[in-house]
Each structure stands twice: as C-alpha cells, then as structure tokens.
Structure 1
Amino acid sequence: MIYKGAFRDIIYPSQNREPRATRYRIVLAKHSRLVRAVVHLVSEEPTQPRRTDLVTALDVILNRIIEAELVGVRHDCIRLVVHDGVQLLEYPITYNALEVKRRGGAMPRPPASADQPIHIRSLDVVGGAVAFSADRDGGKPVTDSLGKTLE
C-alpha cells in the first residue's frame, strides 16, 4: 500500500432526489507494476437509509469523486469498491467510448454509427475526459490482497 486517505463525507441524491450521505476515501495501492487508485465507499453507516439508494447513485458519486480528486488518472488505474457492512464489493468501471475527447480537439469526429470501429488507447481515457459509470450487475467480492489493503 502506498497511500490511504482519510474518510470524507459525500452527499448524493437518492432515488426520489432526497439528499443522502455516505463516506469515501481514496487508497493508492501498488498492484503488480501499476499503482491503482481505489475509490472506497462505505455504506454501512447507521444514517444510511437504504443500500439501494447508494447503488443507484454510484455513477453520480463516482464522477464527483473523480472530478474532485482523480482528474487525469487513467481509467484502467481506478477501481471502485463498496463496503456494505458485510462484504467488500468491487464494481467494474465503464465509459462510453464515443465520449472520449481527442487530444487537441482540432478535428470534430464524424457522426457515430453502430458499425464504426474506434481505436482508443487506455492512456487516453482519463478522469475528466469522459463520464464513468459503475457496472452494478458486475459487482463481485474483492480479492484478499485488496481487502487487506483497505482494512
């Protein structure tokens, strides 16, 4: 482990647009040759009304945290982990490739079609260049090594 930040509060909208709060921190963890920025959300807070509100708002929370603290960090170096009080779940982070901004932005992209190939390097997909989303159906328990890092 390289860095473990302090927990901070973040307010997000619930399903009916009421304000809810949860806590998060950023953990920088060495993984093979790369350093990973782990966004660690905690949902077992006693004030947390329902877990479904947090899962529904993961995209909003993730993008707010990235825009505040991880602008310019590569997509493949960011992980999202949610601690629900019982287990740690990691959610894959996705993005819409058609939203990736070209460097320089001099030439506009041609209109997109379903059969148009796009080549994107992972170095080009960074926080602030595109909106990220969490794959809620792809959540799986974290590995033991990452779990120990977050403790």
Structure 2
Amino acid sequence: MIYKSAFKDIIYPAQNREPRVTQYRIVLMKNSRLVRAIVHLVANQPPQPQPIELDTALDVILNRIIGAELIGVRHDCVRLIVQADAQFTEYPVTFNALDVARPGNVASRPATTSDQPIHIRSLDVVGGSVAFYVDREGGKPVSPGVAGMLR
C-alpha cells in the first residue's frame, strides 16, 4: 500500500429515490506490475442502507467517486471493494464499449446500420471517458492480505 485516504461520506438515491449515505475512501495499492486505485465502500455503519439498496446504487456511487477523484485513471487500475461487517467483497468494474468515443470527426462519418468492430485498449478507457458499471454477479471475497490492509 502506498496511500490510504480518510473516509468520506457520499449521498446517493435509494430505490425509492430517498437520500441515503454511506462512506468510502480511496486506497492506492502497488503490486509488482502497477498501482491500483481501490474504492473501499463501507456498508455496515449505522444508519447504513439495506444491502439491497446499496446494491442497486453501486453504479451511481462508483461513477460519482470516479468523477470526483479518479478522472483519467485507467479502467484496469480501478477496483471496487465493499465491506459489510467483517466481510470484504470485490466486484469487477466494467464499461459499455459502445460509449467509447472513436477518434476522428464523428459528424463526417457515414451512418451505418450494422455494428462495426472496433479495437479498445484498456489504456484508453479512463475514468470520466465512459460510465463504469459494477458486475454484481462477479463479486468474490478478497484475499486475507488485502482485507487486512483495508482494516
């Protein structure tokens, strides 16, 4: 680990559009290849949301945090870890490839009726360039070493 911020509050809409609050912090962790930005979201502090409410708002929360603190950070360098009680779960972060702007003048390109293949490098997909999404089904427990670092 090379950096751990203090916890901050973030307000987000619940399923019924009422405001809810949770806490997060950014942790920068260096491994042998690169530095990763971990968004550490806490879901066990009173008065915290029901897990279902937080689950439906993860995309909103993640994009607000990225928009405020991680603009320009590569997609492959961002991790989301949600802490509920003593359990830490890491969720894969994805994006919609159709949102990635292709180089060139969009106005001068002819309209097509079929999908065109494009090549997207993860280096080119950064915070602020596309909306990120949380793969809720892909969540898995984090390693004991990472969990210990986040405690």
TM exceeding 0.5: yes
- Residue 37 of structure 1 corresponds to 37
1:144 maps onto 2:144 in alignment: yes
Runs of 4+ in structure 1 over 6 Å off: none
- Residue 16 of structure 1 corresponds to 16
Q: Which has the larger radius of gyration?
A: 2
Query: Which stretches in structure 1 are left out of the alignment for 5+ residues?
Result: none
Q: Using the alignment, how far apart are the partners of 1:113 and 1:13 within structure 2?
A: 37
Judged with a 3 Å threshold, the aligned counterparts in structure 2 of structure 1 residues 49 and 75 are, in CA distance, closer, same or farther, namely closer
> Alignment identity in percent?
66
Q: Using the alignment, how far apart are the partners of 1:29 and 1:144 within structure 2?
A: 15
| Contact 1:88–1:147 (8 Å) recurs in 2 | yes
Secondary structure of the corresponding residue to residue 98 of structure 1: helix
- Residue 105 of structure 2 corresponds to 107
Structure 1 position 117, deviation (Å): 2.0
Secondary structure of the corresponding residue to residue 22 of structure 2: strand
Judged with a 3 Å threshold, the aligned counterparts in structure 2 of structure 1 residues 73 and 111 are, in CA distance, closer, same or farther, namely farther
Query: Which stretches in structure 2 are left out of the alignment for 5+ residues?
Result: none
Judged with a 3 Å threshold, the aligned counterparts in structure 2 of structure 1 residues 97 and 112 are, in CA distance, closer, same or farther, namely farther
- Residue 51 of structure 2 corresponds to 51
Judged with a 3 Å threshold, the aligned counterparts in structure 2 of structure 1 residues 122 and 49 are, in CA distance, closer, same or farther, namely closer
Provide TM-score, normalisation by structure 1. Answer: 0.92
Provide TM-score, normalisation by structure 2. Answer: 0.92
- Residue 2 of structure 2 corresponds to 2
Count of residue pairs the alignment pairs up: 148
- Matched to 2:18, the amino acid is E
Structure 1 position 33, deviation (Å): 1.4
- Residue 134 of structure 1 corresponds to 134
- Residue 76 of structure 1 corresponds to 76
